[in-house]
Each structure stands twice: as structure tokens, then as C-alpha cells.
Amino acid sequence: MAETKKLHIALFPWLAFGHIIPFLELGKRIARKGHQISFISTPRNIERLPKISPDVLTSITLVKLPLPHVENLPENAESTMDVPHHLVPYLKTAHDGLQESLSDFLQTSAPDWIIHDFAPHWLPPIATKLGIRRVFFSVFNASILCFAGPSKSSTTDAVDPTSTRTEPEHFIVPPKWVPFPTKIAPRLFEAKKLIGNHMEENASGVSDISRYMQAVVGAEALAVKTCSEVEGEWLKLLGQLHDAPVFPVGSLPSPAQERGVDKDGTWGTIVEWLDKREKGSVVYVAFGTEVQPSQEDLNELALGLEQSGFPFFWALRKRSSSVIGGDMAELPEGFEERTRGRGIVWPSWAPQFRILAHESVGGFLNHCGWSSVAEAFQLGRPLIMLPISMDSGLIARLIEERQAGVEVPRNEQDGSFTRDSVTQTLRLVMKDEEGQIYRDKAKEMSAIFGDEDLQDRYAANCVDFLENHRHVVRGL
């Protein structure tokens, strides 16, 4: 039997660590199957990557493309974690400035495939001209992509989403192209943000929805960070909406040996505190480094947590001091003093997976970032959900459909919530008898997300696709 030719695969993620890390994990899994990886980003982002394990170190080349300077972008800002939300469009402008240097790299290195993100709408024609095959990789789950609608190349009867949905009220029901029952749709306050933040042209000159559609239309296949066991019907629909092969790559958990790393020596202090708590009693609270609750939301969240009575570990990491206009909201006065002994506010990096894995943790209060959801479900932890963005709102509704978590009730018009609603939702998910269904369903999810053999098979299927489709799958 002939040996499979070693492939050279380039990966080009958007400049956000919520994208960079899954792309890197996918690259490592492909490298473990015997292929060569070129991982492309900017110098500062490359320097901030987690250490690559020795078993794939020689198979991954880190390619640094200097980010062009653009007006209004702070010096040394190379990822979304370096800038407040209103400056992200200028980061997209700078990212568009990578077109020439990326083209030069692709021409000289001639990879077999490039796996790319939503942002480089200009990439597919360049890769096609060079004879490089293309996969669009989404770090978002399948139901979110389906909500965005069909591409113009689609052979379905669904209508072009950008021409028919123009008002917030158009978005608060499932789209007409979804053929099965679902309650997944934005709330009104999320739909208002969606139109302003993603549907309309921003300072980069290109709307997010336009970037996404051009990236998808220009790809030969779509890879999605999800599992068929959770989103089988959505994955099938996604392929129909874009008339393209679609394959899930699993949740891309980092290897067990990497999850156990105590990178800054703080685990001893944390585990000593956790060891003193009763099994299943602690609420772990984390919103990532890039999600910023408003001052009002932070107040209600903290006071709801306080009056719930539950022990808590809150990873409240401050943004980089280099972030202009990115001041961190402050906790309510006296909060830490009043909850001392019962709760911890941890201001630096926290080993999230190890904390969630501790038996004292009974629930995870978070913003519904897809990677955090996957980590929670690896360990069977139910979710208390407080989504901040439109995409995380859609994830929250997916989790509620699967009954593995509960969303904190909010005002439909403005998205506000109260401390009482936080307290009540915490008690329901963590303790109340009627909340047992959520705790049970979250444990069932661990049979999918926590099954490392299953996740490995997803990675293997991805590699099989790349190996077996050396010819063009779908042209521009």
C-alpha cells in the first residue's frame, strides 16, 4: 500500500486568541498525523502562544507576518485582547494589510491547503490563482453559521439573508431556511447590536457578514468546531446552505498533559482553597479576557453572587494596561470584604480546566464562549449563562435546548438583568431539585465532549478529507 504523501498545510486565524488557540490545536492534531504545518500570525501573537509540545514541535513552523500600522490602532496592538471593542474595525484594517505579505509567503512556500478564518475575504482568489486548496474553519458552532444564512452560491431555495432581514425584529425568530423546530434566535437587544456590529460596514470598509460570506463562498469545504452528536441537523443544513462539504472537527480539547501544566505556580494556592469546600458547592465564574461586562452588569452580577450564599471562585482578569479606552469596570464597594472567606476574586490568569475539574465545583457561570462551554461539558459541569454578545446568546439558546444550562433572565429591550435573577438562576442550577435535569444533562454531555477517542476521530476525519481531496472540491 502506497504511503500517503506528507501535506503542507497553512493555517491563518483571525487576530483574536479565541480563534488563534483553536486554529493552533487543529494544527497540532493535523501535525500528529504526519503532516507539516505553517501557522501564520503576527509576531506578538506568535510570541504569546502556549508552548508547543515536543511531539509536534518539528512539524509546526511559526510564521510571523508584521502587522501594518494603521491610524487609530494603538502601538503593539495585534489582537482583540489589546484593544477595546470600538477599535476592533481598525484591527481588521491592519489585518487586510497582510494581503501582500501573505501572498508572498504562499507563493514561495506553496502549501497544499490553507485553512483560513472569516476575516480575510480577499484570500480565496489569491489561493485559487496559486493552486492552493482552501478550507474555511469556523471556531463558532454550526447553528450560529446557519443563522447567518445561505451564500449566494447556494443551491437551496432559501433567500439571501442580507436583503430580507433589515430590522431587529426580523432576527428574533428562527430564519425561514431552518426546516426543523428550534428556539435558537437572538433576543431583541442582541439583534439591535447584531445589525450595528456585524451587518453594517465598519471602519475597515467591509462588514463582518460580507467578510464571512466571501470567505465561505471562496472555500472548497467548511470545517466547524463542533460535534455531530450535538449539532448533527445543523451541520447537515450548513452544507445545504452553502452547497459545500462540511465536516466537524470536534471540540479540540488540548491534550491532558498540557491541561495539567501549572504555568505560573499558582495552582497550589487555588487547590488548597478548593479542597476546603464541599463537593459540588463552588460556582466558578469567568468571562474570558476579551469580554467586558458594563459597570451596571458587573454590579448586579457581583451582588447576585453575594446574596446567593454559594462559595465562588471568580477569575476576573484585568485587560492589558496597554488597552486604550479599555478600563475595567470595578466591583461594588465592599464586595470583596463582605465575601472574604466564602469567595475568591482572582485577578490574574487562572487554570480554568483544572478548576472546573475539581470536585468542589458544581457549576460554571460564564458568557457562553464556545471554547469555555466545551471545557465545562468535558467535565460535566452545568452552565449558568450570561451571554454578552450575539453569538454567545445563540450558544446559550442551544445549551438551553439541550437542557444542560440555564440563561439568566434579562430585559428583552436593553439586556439588563437583576441581582435577584442571578441568585435565582444560580440556586436552580446548583441546588434546587427542579434543576436536577440540568445537572444530569451536563453529565451526559461529558460523554461527548470528554471522550478523547471520539475527539481524536474527528481530527482523523479532518485529515482524511485533506488527504483524499487533492483535486478541487468546489471552485470559486
Per-residue pLDDT of 5-18, as tens digits, reads 899 999 999 999 99
Is there a contact between 116 and 41 (Cβ–Cβ < 8 Å)?
Answer: no
For the cut 70, the answer to whether the pLDDT of residue 164 exceeds it is no
Three-state SS sequence of the chain: CCCCCCCEEEEECCCCHHHHHHHHHHHHHHHCCCCEEEEEECHHHHHCCCCCCHHHHCCEEEEECCCCCCCCCCCCCCCHHHCCHHHHHHHHHHHHCCHHHHHHHHHHHCCCEEEECCCCCCHHHHHHHCCCEEEEEECCCHHHHHHHCCCCCCCCCCCCHHHHCCCHHHHCCCCCCCCCCCCCCCCHHHHHHHHHHHHCCCCCCCCHHHHHHHHHHCCCEEEECCCHHHHHHHHHHHHHHHCCCEEECCCCCCCHHHHCCCCCCCHHHHHHHHHCCCCCCEEEEECCCCCCCCHHHHHHHHHHHHHHCCCEEEECCCCCCCCCCCCCCCCCCCHHHHCECCEEEECCCCCHHHHHHCCCEEEEEECCCHHHHHHHHHCCCCEEECCCCHHHHHHHHHHHHCCCEEECCCCCCCCCCCHHHHHHHHHHHHCCHHHHHHHHHHHHHHHHHCCHHHHHHHHHHHHHHHHHCCCCCCCC
Is there a contact between 368 and 395 (Cβ–Cβ < 8 Å)?
Answer: yes
Q: Which of 118, 363, 374 is nearest to 229 (CA)?
A: 374
Q: Residue 318: its pLDDT value, please?
A: 67
Lowest mean pLDDT among 123-127, 326-330, 434-438: 326-330
> What is the grid cell recorded at 196?
450595528
Give per-residue pLDDT as tens, 197-249: 556 678 889 999 899 999 999 999 999 999 999 999 999 999 999 999 999 99
Is there a contact between 462 and 391 (Cβ–Cβ < 8 Å)?
Answer: no
Q: How confident is the model at residue 472 (pLDDT cuts 50, 70, 90)?
A: low
For the cut 50, the answer to whether the pLDDT of residue 101 exceeds it is yes
Q: Residue 261: its pLDDT value, please?
A: 62
Q: Which of 225, 25, 11 is nearest to 134 (CA)?
A: 11
Q: Residue 447: its pLDDT value, please?
A: 96
Q: Residue 466: its pLDDT value, please?
A: 96
Q: Which of 382, 397, 385 is nearest to 421 (CA)?
A: 385
For the cut 90, the answer to whether the pLDDT of residue 136 exceeds it is yes
Q: How confident is the model at residue 58 (pLDDT cuts 50, 70, 90)?
A: very high
How far is Cα 304 from Cα 293, in angstroms, rounded to an integer? Answer: 15
Name which residue leads in pLDDT, 291 or 387.
387
Lowest mean pLDDT among 22-26, 316-320, 419-423: 316-320
Range 367-387 average pLDDT: 96
Q: Residue 143: its pLDDT value, please?
A: 96
- The DSSP bridge partners found for residue 291 are none
The burial class, CB within 10 Å (0-12 / 13-18 / 19+), for 438 is buried
Is there a contact between 349 and 318 (Cβ–Cβ < 8 Å)?
Answer: no
How far is Cα 195 from Cα 168, in angstroms, rounded to an integer? Answer: 7
CB neighbourhood size of 468 (10 A):
9
Distances (CA, A) of 233 to 158, 181, 390: 17, 11, 21
For the cut 50, the answer to whether the pLDDT of residue 176 exceeds it is yes
For the cut 50, the answer to whether the pLDDT of residue 159 exceeds it is no
Range 89-107 average pLDDT: 97
Q: How confident is the model at residue 131 (pLDDT cuts 50, 70, 90)?
A: very high
Range 150-169 average pLDDT: 59
Q: Residue 324: its pLDDT value, please?
A: 46
All domains of the chain, ordered by start, with CATH?
8-253+452-468 (3.40.50.2000), 256-449 (3.40.50.2000)
| Location of C-alpha cell 476521530 | 457
Q: How confident is the model at residue 260 (pLDDT cuts 50, 70, 90)?
A: low
Model pTM score: 0.91
For the cut 80, the answer to whether the pLDDT of residue 338 exceeds it is yes
Lowest mean pLDDT among 29-33, 96-100, 179-183, 197-201: 197-201
Q: How confident is the model at residue 323 (pLDDT cuts 50, 70, 90)?
A: very low
For the cut 60, the answer to whether the pLDDT of residue 417 exceeds it is yes
